[in-house]
Structure 1
Amino acid sequence: MEAMNIDFPYGIDGRGRTATADHAEHVRNMVEQVLFTTPGERVNRPDFGCGLLDLVFEPAGPEMVATVEMTAQAALQRWLGDLLTVEGLEVTVEECTLSVSLAYRLTATGEQHSVRIDGGTAQ
C-alpha cells in the first residue's frame, strides 16, 4: 500500500477531505519547504531549512550567489538526501530578482524533475 502524502500547502480536495499529492509532487513540495524555511522557524526541528528568504535582501553579487548555492545544496542533501539526488543547482540574480533552478532525480523512481523559483514563486 502506498503512503498517503498530504499536499502542501494544506488544503481540502473536492470531496471535502485533506488534499493529497503523489510522490513526485510531495517531494517538490518538500523542496520548497526546505528552501523557504528559515532555521529556527520550526519548533521541533530548529535547524531545518536553508534560510533562502534571509538572503533575498542581501546585496546581489557573486558572493551572495555562491552562498545561496552552497546553503541550498547542503540543506537539500541533508533533509531530502534519501528522497532525491541533486543533479544541478543554479542561482542567478537579474534585475534584483533571485532565481533558483534545481534539477533532481527521485530516488524511488529514478524520474528526473526540475523546479525554478523566482523571487519566492515556484514555476
Structure 2
Amino acid sequence: MQDDDSGFLGTGWAFPPAFDAPSRDAALVSGADDIAESLLILLSTRPGERVMRPTYGCDLRSIAFEHIDLNTATRIRTMIEQAVRFFEPRVTLEDVRLKLDRLSTAAVLRIELVYLVRSTNSRHNLVYPLYIEEGNAVGRVL
C-alpha cells in the first residue's frame, strides 16, 4: 500500500520478501506499513543474528519457559522500549501492554505496542504474539 507520507517514512521490501513474477520486482511497502513491518522484524530478531549489526534486535526469546510475573513483565517492557528507542527512530513508543492468554496447550503473550509516528504525528498500534510454553501461566492482564 503506497501512502502519501512514503517520502518521510521511507519504502522498503515487504516482509516476508515476495516478488512479482511478470516484472521480477520485489514487493515494497511504504509509510506506516513499512514502520509496522520494521517493528515486527525488530521484535523477532535476536541480538547477534545480523552479522553487520550484532546489537540489532530484541531478545524476547530469552523469556521462553519463564514464569510470567511482574518482574518478567517489567523485563519484557524494558527490552522492547530499549530496542525501539535505539533501532526505530521514526516512532515514539507511548505504551507497551502485555496480556497472557492460554490457547490449547501453548501460552501466548500478546505484546501491544502503542506508538506515534514522529513525522506525521499519527498514532498506531501493533500486536506481536509471543508463544511461550509455560505450565503455570494464567490468562491475565499484566
Match of residue 126 from structure 2: 115
- 8 Å Cα contact 1:5-1:23 kept in structure 2: no
Give unpaired runs (5+ residues) of structure 1: none
Deviation string, structure 1 residues 59-100 (Cα, Å, up to 9, x no partner): 2222111110111011101111x2001111112223322110
Structure 2 residue 46 is matched with structure 1 residue 38:
yes
Task: Please give the secondary structure, in 1, of the residue aligned with 2:49.
Answer: coil
Q: May I ask how many residue pairs the two structures share in their alignment? A: 119
Match of residue 100 from structure 1: 111
Match of residue 37 from structure 2: 29
- 8 Å Cα contact 1:56-1:98 kept in structure 2: no
Q: Distance in 1 between matches of 2:65 and 2:95?
A: 24
RMSD: 1.8
2:93 pairs, out of 79, 86, 91, with: 86
- 8 Å Cα contact 1:91-1:101 kept in structure 2: yes
Task: Please give the secondary structure, in 2, of the residue aligned with 1:114.
Answer: strand
Q: Specify which structure has the bigger relative contact order, considering alpha-carbon pairs within 8 angstroms and separated by 6 or more residues.
A: 2
Task: Please give the secondary structure, in 2, of the residue aligned with 1:117.
Answer: strand
Bigger drift between 98-107 and 47-56 goes to 47-56
Deviation string, structure 1 residues 15-38 (Cα, Å, up to 9, x no partner): 441000011111101101111111
Bigger drift between 3-12 and 70-79 goes to 3-12
Q: Distance in 2 between matches of 1:4 and 1:30?
A: 11
Give unpaired runs (5+ residues) of structure 2: 1-5, 132-142
Structural mapping, 1:59-70, within 5 Å: 59-70=67-78
- 8 Å Cα contact 2:115-2:125 kept in structure 1: yes
Structure 2 residue 84 is matched with structure 1 residue 76:
yes
